[in-house]
Amino acid sequence: MNPQYSKNIYQQVSRRKLLGFGAASGSLLIASALLKPRISKAFQAIRIPSLPAGYTPPSEHPFDPMVLLREFDYGTVKYEQGKKVREFEVTAKSSPLQLNSVITFISWNLNDRVPGPTFRAKEGERIRIVFHNEGGHSHSMHFHGTHPVDMDGIEPIRHGKTMVYEFDAEPFGVHPYHCHIAPVTRHISKGLYGLLIVDPPEGRVPADEMVMVMGGFDINNDHQNELYAFNGIPNYYRDHPIPVYQNQLIRLYLLNMIEFDPAVTFHIHANMFQIFPTGRTLKSSAESDVITMGTAERHILEFSYKYPGQYMFHPHQDDIAERGCMGFFDVLPV
């Protein structure tokens, strides 16, 4: 994989997927060099920094948390009877995940990553999830949001079987998905979770968009988390700060999927953020520098940094932060 981060991101999303989504969404932050005919000047104004020279994707992990951070899966676009359909392929697997230099965790995952893919569609579009279970156990995919009962994802899909979940993307907002097979806490804590972002028809203002999912790891199967992480790997963004540009709007899709802890907070240093609860509003409802979330609670947070430098973010349950749920934004001057 090319170590230049901006190129990594662009290579991860196909031209067909981007054009299928359309320029109305605030999510299209891809450089104009790839899609000049279809990207507006407003979207060209958003820049994604490259990672520092010498950064290489982690060979010990099946995925790169830096790519995962800004990667959105728009599916394969089809038109059926005049309606746009976004089709996604998802495979449940079981594979080792190197959490640190001494601990290897056997994850249950979707498409070889924890969290799973960040699916994205516009409100009203049809979504089709083709779910293949190769995980060795019965699993399912339960989506938050609105859908018919037969698409609710509580029925077990046995190993080796396939299930097609199909429903309209509604309402707009940020919706978690996860396995719903008992014991649900175990299936979630092993890694079977992710995000579905449903954009409002009118889109949102352009921003540097990124996804952070907070997760815990019960290493000893004692219903307690020994390690925690943003986007799957403990301390990754502490050791590899996230580059952002000074005075540029950041839109953070934040989800708490930590089991066994009743609630956690999210705090950024030396700044304030605007809060869009569950992503269900187009206007901020509050401003803070810390927010509390129960399991499966999620929000959109918007902020920008006035001054260059490296600024920490973490839960204010400091024991959780010190066991892996910690990172930095590296604010680059413009």
Residue 218 neighbours by CB under 8 Å, 6+ apart: 186, 189, 224, 225, 226, 259, 260
Q: How many residues does the chain have?
A: 334
Whether residue 183 is preceded by a cis peptide bond, meaning omega within 30 degrees of 0, is yes
What is the C-alpha separation between 224 and 232, in angstroms, rounded?
17
Kindly give, in sequence order, each residue whose CB lies less than 8 Å from that of residue 104, ignoring residues fewer than 6 positions away. 96, 97, 98
Two structure tokens written together for 256: 């708490």
Q: Is 186 exposed, middle or buried (0-12, 13-18, 19+ CB in 10 A)?
A: middle
Q: Which helix (H) or strand (E) holds 22?
A: none
Binding-site residue positions: 139, 144, 178-179, 187
Contact assessment for residue 62 and residue 113, using Cβ atoms and an 8 Å cutoff: yes
Mind spelling out the 3-state secondary structure of 137-171? Answer: CCECCEECCCCCHHHCCCCCECCCCEEEEEEECCC
**47-51: long-range contacts, CB 8 A cutoff, minimum separation 24:** 47/208, 47/245, 47/248, 48/5, 48/6, 48/9, 48/208, 49/5, 49/6, 49/243, 49/244, 49/245, 49/332, 50/4, 50/5, 50/6, 50/243, 51/3, 51/4, 51/5, 51/240, 51/243
Residues annotated within a binding site for Cu cation: 139, 144, 178-179, 187
